[in-house]
Amino acid sequence: MQVLDSSAFITEYHTNDQTASIPLVREELEDEAFYRFDAMEGAGMHIHIPADGTVEKVRRAASETGDREVLSDTDVRLLAAAFELDATLVTDDYAMQNVAERLDLRVEPIARDGITEEREWRFQCVGCNRTFDENKERCPICGSDLTRKNPA
């Protein structure tokens, strides 16, 4: 199971794993990210409310690592939810990753998905339509401009 933080909904993070999140994340989201949260909840995402004792345990761990000041209430409760569910925490937040490590939680960065997608971009010449894997100033064959092309 994976516990998703707000940025996972904003960046359209995809996973085939079972997912969970907390009510506070829903409150932080707007527009499309908000609807994505509801859609995922409708599709079976587990909404978890961590116990006060676990929240306190996370706060103590954050104090030990020096991250308590920078963690929001939402961050702390996401960590607590991941701890209680024995789930992987999905976040790019450095302070959360730090505290997760202290709690022996598994962490999955969101950015990795984005990077993979970025690599799939190809560049196409507007003159001769040849495609290239990397962006060049001009087409080396005919000298026309290149445009970015989505492989899909």
Q: Measured from the CB atom, is 51 or 128 closer to Zn ion? A: 128
What sign has the CA pseudo-torsion 150, 117, 144, 141? Answer: negative
Nearest distance from residue 125's CB to Zn ion, in Å?
3
Residue of 35, 64, 141, 147 that binds Zn ion (CB under 5 A): 141
Calpha distance 11→13 (Å, rounded):
6
Q: Measured from the CB atom, is 22 or 125 closer to Zn ion? A: 125
* Cα torsion through 134, 135, 139, 145, rounded to 10: 150
Residue of 98, 127, 132, 149 that binds Zn ion (CB under 5 A): 127
Residue of 128, 131, 138, 147 that binds Zn ion (CB under 5 A): 128
How far from each other are the two terminal CA atoms of the chain, in whole angstroms? 29
Put residue 107 in one of left, alpha, beta given phi > 0 → left and psi -120 to 50 → alpha. Answer: beta
* Choices 48-56, 63-71, 106-114, 121-129 (CB under 5 A): range interacting with Zn ion: 121-129
Nearest distance from residue 121's CB to Zn ion, in Å?
18
Nearest distance from residue 85's CB to Zn ion, in Å?
53
131: tokens are 């495609």
Q: What is the DSSP letter of 148?
A: E
Contact (Cβ atoms closer than 8 angstroms) between residue 23 and residue 49: yes
139 binds Zn ion (CB under 5 A): yes
136: tokens are 């060049």
Q: Measured from the CB atom, is 60 or 136 closer to Zn ion? A: 136
Residues at the interface with Zn ion (CB under 5 A) = 125, 127-128, 139, 141-142, 144
